[in-house]
Amino acid sequence: MRVDVVSVFPDYLEPLRLSLIGRAVARGRLRLGVHDLRAFTHDVHRTVDDAPFGGGAGMLMTPPPWGEALDHVRAEGRAQLGEHVEPHLLVMSPAGVRFDQAMAEDLAREPWLVLACGRYEGIDDRVLTDAARHHRVTPVSIGDYVLAGGEAAALVVVEAVGRLLPGVLGNSASVVEESHSEGLLEAPAYTRPASWRGLDVPDVLTSGDHARVARWRRDESLRRTAARRPDLLGGRSAADLDRHDLAV
């Protein structure tokens, strides 16, 4: 997969060179391009913002640098991937479609993502309309809160997508069994020592009975989801879901 990120703070994306994602980049499983939006300005102040038409607080990002930056990234990517390939542009915005594990899984199947990081009050909307003349454009929000800019959101999206790419995680079962992959939170987990500060690991986990362990994990997963994220159960109670399990 190829991923390009456009930002006025390219250094903000440096953590993508570390850890799991950094290894994927170093091994070429993820081709990462980070681009400085200000490289596409032409005035001495390298201006990227202006006051909004119609008034209102704060500044907006002006279209010309974004247009040039996105044209440049598109040309560079097509030269590498082939002229028939188009990117999917993700515009980081608190006004976007909510990012979740299902979206991460969909995005992980795409050949090329471009992430646009807005600052200030966001990006002039014509930038999205213009880009949509060539390829898909999706405004993406990582949650219902407002960040100072899209960079932290881009880190979240690249990490969540990148770890799903083939060969990035050592053990692909860990992707299948993790929180959110089945719409539920994962059950609590324990490792050695079996007893620590007077706290013992649940007996079932040391029983060696795989069917009982699976049943226990499912029950705990339902209980935890009902307590912490009842919204994920879609109005059904944990007891209902449990009855459904026993019927199948």
119 to 148, contacts with ligand ADE by CB under 6 A? 141-143, 145-147
Q: Decide whether 143 or 193 has the Cβ nearer to ligand ADE.
A: 143
What is the Cα–Cα distance from 16 to 159, expressed in whole angstroms?
Answer: 8
Q: For the chain, give percent helix, strand, coil, nearest 5.
A: 40, 20, 40
Measured from the CB of residue 170, what is the shortest distance to ligand ADE in angstroms? 30
Taken in order 238, 243, 246, 248, the sign of the CA dihedral is negative
Per-residue interface string for the shown chain with ligand ADE, residues 85-124, x marking contact by CB under 6 A: -------xxx-x----------------------------
Contact present, 16 and 26 (Cβ < 8 Å): no
Measured from the CB of residue 117, what is the shortest distance to ligand ADE in angstroms? 8
Q: Which of 139, 151, 115, 128 is nearest to 63 (CA)?
A: 128
Sequence-distant (6+) residues with CB within 8 A of 31 are: 1, 2, 3, 25, 80
User: Annotation-wise, does 231 bind a ligand?
Assistant: no
Q: Decide whether 136 or 244 has the Cβ nearer to ligand ADE.
A: 136
What is the Cα–Cα distance from 106 to 138, expressed in whole angstroms?
Answer: 13
User: Annotation-wise, does 142 bind a ligand?
Assistant: yes
Site size for ligand ADE, by CB under 6 A?
12
Q: Read out DSSP for 69-114?
A: HHHHHHHHHHHHH-TT---EEEEEEEEEEEP-HHHHHHHTTSSEEE
Q: How many residues does the chain have?
A: 248
Measured from the CB of residue 183, what is the shortest distance to ligand ADE in angstroms? 22
User: By Cβ distance, which residue is nearest to ligand ADE?
Assistant: 153
Measured from the CB of residue 216, what is the shortest distance to ligand ADE in angstroms? 36
- What is the token pair recorded at 168? 């990035």
Q: Which of 168, 112, 158, 125 is nearest to 12 (CA)?
A: 158
Measured from the CB of residue 128, what is the shortest distance to ligand ADE in angstroms? 14
User: Annotation-wise, does 145 bind a ligand?
Assistant: yes
Cα distance from N-terminal residue to C-terminal residue, the chain? 39
User: Annotation-wise, does 147 bind a ligand?
Assistant: yes
- Identify the residue among 137, 150, 158, 222 touching ligand ADE (CB under 6 A): 150
- Told to check if 183 binds ligand ADE by CB under 6 A, we report no
Q: Decide whether 146 or 248 has the Cβ nearer to ligand ADE.
A: 146
Measured from the CB of residue 109, what is the shortest distance to ligand ADE in angstroms? 22
Binding-site residue set: 118, 142-147
Binding-site residue set for S-adenosyl-L-methionine: 118, 142-147
Contacts with ligand ADE by CB under 6 A lie at 92-94, 96, 141-143, 145-147, 150, 153
